[in-house]
Amino acid sequence: MDLIILIPAVACWVVLARGSVRSALINVYLPSVLLLPQYFELRFTHFPPMTFAATAIIPLGVAIWVSEMRCWRLDWMDLLVLLFAVSAGLSEGLSTVLADGKWLRLFTSPAETLQADVNNGIFQFIAGITTVILPYMLGKLLIEHGEVDGQPMRKMLVRRMVVLLAIVAAISVFDFVIGSSLWQRVFRHFFPGQIVYWPNQMRWGFGRIAGPYGHAILAGMMFLMGLTYCVWLRMFAPDWGGRKVINGLPLTLRGLVLWAIVAGLLMTQSRGPWLGVVLALVFVFLMRSFSMGKATAIFLLLVAAFSVTGYYFGNKYSEVAPGQPISEEQDSVIYRRNLIRNYAPLVMERKAFGWGITTYPVMGGQKSIDNEFLMLAVTQGFTGLGLFVAIVAGCAARLLWLAARPMLAEDQGLVFAHLALLIGLMTALSTVYLGEQVMLLFFLIVGWVQGMNPARVTVGGPAAIAPRFQFRRVLS
């Protein structure tokens, strides 16, 4: 039954044979990412495990290599993304036999142990191709160029993304009320022998919805992305979804999609993505009210003040006497505080490439490292962490550089949306790891940012900034 994972691959080949690579991205790959869980796998002997999204992206990778690579322009971000995927494979391959710089083990350890290390490293790198490199290539080559059904690719991609996320939110109302995952119930029938490591969670008397994304915080980050791009789409595609869904009722597709995504974000009951949305909105407001330099300086000061205040009150909130009852919220804060204490010594033992994603020792009983930056330091060492920070910083720098250029309002709105999204995701990643579908979309967006090259607006041309009231009116 697990052969159903190959269905997206077959569908992708069919669409590629009859249509375009951009059509396959929107009509096959995006639904595979947003609607299907990635924690179920298809395993063949001597081959790495494959997920729904992985089987869908391999035909796309072949297609863009054949038809689109002539448009590729090398830049330094390409190298960072490649090295990040290589770093994951190296950290896995060096995790035991070759760890700690004791290269003598290469010749003295049992052959089967060394072979297992090398195989794990190779499999991890192949996983990096399907989750990091190929999504990045799709984003860089396809989104800013070309059309689908006569519409710009960027708008078609966002339209499909927000509609699919609205569908996930609507289905997940069941999970919110019942407290059980409908997605796991359905897909377990197709993968009866596979164990699901994502337990259902309750908070404030309701289920924390996770959709097909594994965890509620990961789902919150997906809805955060959807909300950001939905606001941009509503501003710059005024004709999209304006027709009433039911005659006589003031319900339009654009309205239903927006409020479904907002409801999905709320039903995750995840404070990290909520805080990310707040900071993203503050940043956009500042960018639209002040010059870029002044807005950035004010935002950094606000973040610094908030971080210091949050650290102080967080420590106070998590100081609990032995035997004193604690709330679920306090337990969550204490868990994350103890992560740093327990894993910091482990990071210092293997600074270069870490302990590997599948072989790092569990410290203090805390198997789940709910902090992407700490997770990278533990599993990929300072090499992986440094590469990830460089990728994020490079994206932010490019977006700020673009924001300083005179351009059309639609392009500038998209630059602001990307910046807001980056702020929201980095905030949420301090409370969870970068995994499942969030990683796929993150690197797709990184490639999208690199592919942006908006035309400059000459003096006296169309206004570069949209009317300020529009963003607030969308949320009212």
Whether residue 93 lies inside any domain: the answer is: no
Residues 349 and 452 in one domain: yes
pTM attached to this predicted model: 0.87
Residues 296 and 180 in one domain: no
Residues 334 and 263 in one domain: no
Name residues whose C-beta falls within 8 Å of residue 451's C-beta, 6 or more positions apart in sequence. Answer: 139, 140, 141, 142, 143, 144, 145
Whether residue 63 lies inside any domain: the answer is: yes
- Domain residues for the domain of 63 are 1-71
Q: What is the predicted pLDDT for the residue at 253?
A: 85
3-class secondary structure, 252: strand
Whether residue 129 lies inside any domain: the answer is: no
CB neighbour burial string for 355-369, b if at least 16 within 10 angstroms, e if fewer: bbbeebeebeeeeeb
Residues 403 and 282 in one domain: yes
Residues 243 and 162 in one domain: yes
Name residues whose C-beta falls within 8 Å of residue 132's C-beta, 6 or more positions apart in sequence. Answer: 81, 84, 85, 88, 439, 443
| Final residue belonging to a domain, choices 71, 100, 127 | 71
Residues 288 and 255 in one domain: no
Residues 354 and 370 in one domain: yes
Residues 167 and 283 in one domain: no
In the block, tokens 């302990």 appear at: 355
**What CA–CA distance (Å, rounded) separates 422 from 138?**
19
Whether residue 418 lies inside any domain: the answer is: yes
Residues 292 and 405 in one domain: yes
Count the domains in the chain. Answer: 3
| Final residue belonging to a domain, choices 269, 290, 309 | 269
DSSP of 136-197? HHHHHHHTTS-EETTEEHHHHHHHHHHHHHHHHHHHTHHHHHHSS-HHHHHHHTT-TTPPP-
Whether residue 205 lies inside any domain: the answer is: yes
Name residues of the chain where pLDDT drops below 50.
99-107, 109, 111-112, 114, 461-476
Query: 8 and 53 in contact (C-beta within 8 Å)?
Result: yes
**What CA–CA distance (Å, rounded) separates 397 from 93?**
33
Whether residue 29 lies inside any domain: the answer is: yes
Residues 282 and 264 in one domain: no
Whether residue 285 lies inside any domain: the answer is: yes
Query: What are the tokens at 58?
Result: 């391999």
Whether residue 455 lies inside any domain: the answer is: yes
**What CA–CA distance (Å, rounded) separates 366 from 343?**
9
Residues 38 and 60 in one domain: yes
Residues 454 and 403 in one domain: yes
Q: Is the dihedral of CA 379, 382, 383, 388 positive or negative?
A: positive
